[in-house]
Amino acid sequence: MTVPVKIAANIAVVGAGTIGLSWARLFASHGMTVRISDPRPDLAAAVAELPGDIRIAASVDEAVRDADVVQESGPEDLEFKKHLFATLVRVAPAHALLLSSSSAIPSTAFTADIEDAGRILIGHPFNPPHVLPLVEVVPGERTSEDSVQAAVEFYRSAGRTPVVERKEIPGFVGNRLQNALSREAAYLVEQGVITPSDLDTVVTSSLGIRWATTGPFLASHLGGGPGGYRHLMNHIGASMRRIDLGEPSDDSEPLIEAVEQAYGSAPYAELTRSRDRRQSAVLSALELN
């Protein structure tokens, strides 16, 4: 049985890659005490760059021993998650909420052999979690309703926008949508229709702005004028369905080279800072309306 999570909770972050470090930064910025664990040799240097009360734990056991919430952000590997969550159930306090940042693997897949699976569920962010507000909260087949509500309360206390999904599906919702667009984007570049940078401009100058303010369904509903979504589908739905989407090649090397040609010369840190500034500006603008 989980308990509602307070803002001043003790948080364990297991895994200090890009997502884990971003989670730690977010939780610490909301006054939480964060203990982070990862075998990477440069963990101290990586954590030193982050603001807030973030402490390095020598092991997973040490990180989770007093945790109210554990946010796992390890490899996207089923066997790894099976082993880790079996350990978390054994070592973390009985009230601790056990959350996975899994990008595609539902929690039921790695909790089948775990007796105390009621407090395990997915809390999948969009990168970077300290900037983008969405968290997909996805319960497994044995996740308790108390745990779902505790996860929602916890993420809200960290300034996030949790959305509870009603059914497990690989990739959840956000990544499935992203994957569909990414596959067509790859196909269009491979076919020589457009370059990677120009395709990005198409998205950021149209769909990105539209969907940031409405989402696909509301945008379509408004696109139908006073008749709404029904009018839009009756008017252009058939022609849109006749567009056959492309299938990108299994050989991704030419596409990788095209993207590297577009962006590979710019320093990663510079691109990341620019992305975060722009996304923060969009979020600030949305809060004004």
Catalytic amino acids? 136
Residue 54 near residue 36, CB atoms below 8 Å: yes
What are the tokens at 16?
A: 């200090």
Pairing outcome for strands 120-125 and 134-139: antiparallel
Cα 146-153-120 angle, rounded to 5 deg: 45
CA 107/CA 122 separation, integer angstroms = 6
For the chain, what is the total number of helices (H) and then of strands (E)?
Answer: 13, 8
Pairing outcome for strands 97-100 and 69-72: parallel
Residue 171 near residue 162, CB atoms below 8 Å: no
CA 22/CA 26 separation, integer angstroms = 6
Identify which of 100, 117, 110 has the alpha carbon closest to the alpha carbon of residue 13. Answer: 100
Q: What is the CA radius of gyration of the chain?
A: 21
Helix (H, G, I), strand (E, B) or coil at 134: strand
- Say whether the peptide bond before residue 93 is cis (omega within 30 degrees of 0): no
As a three-state string, the secondary structure of 237-268 is HHHHHCCCCCCCCCCCHHHHHHHHHHHCCCCH
